[in-house]
Chain A
Amino acid sequence: MKLRECFEYIAGRWKSELVILSAGNCSEMWWEVTRDSERAFYLEASMSLASMFGAGIALGVPRTPVWVFSGDGAFCMNPGMLMVERQMNLPNLKHFLVSNRCYGSTYEARLPNASANDYASMARAMGIERVYRIDSLDALQRDFASAVAQPGHVFTVLEVEPVGKKLEEPPMDGPEMKYRFGRYIERMTGVRIFDGSLF
């Protein structure tokens, strides 16, 4: 499955969910497909912590679905994230692992043990009950609704081809992204993030 087709399909079904994207291809392709700068947080500056970042949000706004897209390069740096996710078991957290079997944003450098890594089995071994492995657009069209529509923590592996080229980075600086995303959450959920009372 091509990453662009995969993201176009998912973005076409994007409603009120908050989206967190890990560094590299995930952030850059989502930006290319959506050009969104409010509902999506591009965690370009850090690898392996997107799902923890998303879990922190999901915990505090339990009625808002949070979609996290991690690359498998990032995942390999911190697979124990699944232990924490399972333990928290947040019903509004949907974690998509974008598996291209390489370090996609660094000229597709080799990923350790790439062909043998079975991410779905790793998730099941850590006790995650709802795990999907999707390797084609047909499968995505068939399984996407059940993966995201029902309450409950879900881990979905999206098997995609390497992109084959360098993509454009989202053109926002960190603080701009913080305020765009944070103000959107304030408007949509009513929570106070930027607490003026301190000043």
Chain B
Amino acid sequence: MASVSNVTARIVEEAAKCGVKLVASLPDTWISELIEAFDKDRRFTHVPVNREESAIGLCSGAFFSGTGALALMGASGFMTCVYALTKINYTYQIPLLLLVTLRGGLGDRAKYHVSNGLYLKPLMDSISMPCTIVDSPEKVSVISTAYAHSRVISRPVVVGFTRGVLRGEQ
């Protein structure tokens, strides 16, 4: 089993490897260490935002300055982004990498995230949002693949993380 710090370091390294320079985030308890790691790493400009849609706007603009960017958020935050993603990224065909927690999945003991477990994936399917799941530390390398894929298809791509991976509870 990989520790939280080990997985956090792997995610950060993978983001750096694929050219991400800007990280826009809103917290979820599962990614608090990851947000802190991005914030401390001088290879990145980390921008805490006021709401998840602002992360979509910021990272989409960054595309036009040739700046690699990712938006980091919880599942609840992603659920609020349908408007921004479909109107900005789909209309103008702007690629974007999103790292999202899979709240409400197996092992999540928070009752208030039940709705995410029920509706997050169906919602992504309903807007044809490509999503790949990282449910073991060995799969963290898919971040680079997802980043490249978003550029190829000129649309956003989600990488979803399970609790086991982010909390070191495999």
Q: Residues on A close to B: CB < 8 A?
A: 20, 41, 43, 45-46, 48-61, 78, 80-81, 83-84, 87-88, 174-175, 177-178, 181-182, 185-186, 189, 191-193, 195, 198-199
Closest to A66 in B: B61
A82 to B139, CA, bound (A): 37
Report the minimum CB–CB distance from A55 to chain B (whole Å): 6
Residue count of chain B within 8 Å CB distance of chain A: 37
Q: Is the CB of B66 within 8 A of A192?
A: yes
Tell whether B43 is near chain A: CB-to-CB under 8 Å: no
Q: Is the CB of A87 within 8 A of B64?
A: no
Q: Which of A43, A57, A78 contacts B88 (CB 8 A)?
A: A43
A185 to B65, CA, bound (A): 7
Q: Which of A55, A87, A186 contacts B61 (CB 8 A)?
A: A55
A-B contact number at CB 8 A = 117
Query: Which chain A residues lie closer than 8 Å to B61 at the CB level?
Result: 20, 52-58
Query: Which chain B residues lie closer than 8 Å to A191 at the CB level?
Result: 65-66
Q: Which of A59, A87, A174, A199 contacts B65 (CB 8 A)?
A: A59
A61 to B67, CA, bound (A): 9
Q: Is the CB of A49 within 8 A of B152?
A: no
Q: Which of A53, A87, A174 contacts B57 (CB 8 A)?
A: A53
Q: Which of A46, A59, A177 contacts B22 (CB 8 A)?
A: A59
B residues 46-99 touching A (CB-CB < 8 Å): 47-51, 53-67, 69, 83-84, 87-88, 90-94
Given contacts A59-B62, A198-B148, contact A46 B84 (CB under 8 A): yes
A50 to B92, CA, bound (A): 14
B residues 128-170 touching A (CB-CB < 8 Å): 148, 151-152, 154
Q: Is the CB of B48 within 8 A of A53?
A: no
Q: Which of A53, A83, A182, A193 contacts B58 (CB 8 A)?
A: A53
A181 to B64, CA, bound (A): 8
Q: Which of B21, B48, B83 contacts A87 (CB 8 A)?
A: B48
Q: Is the CB of B93 within 8 A of A49?
A: no
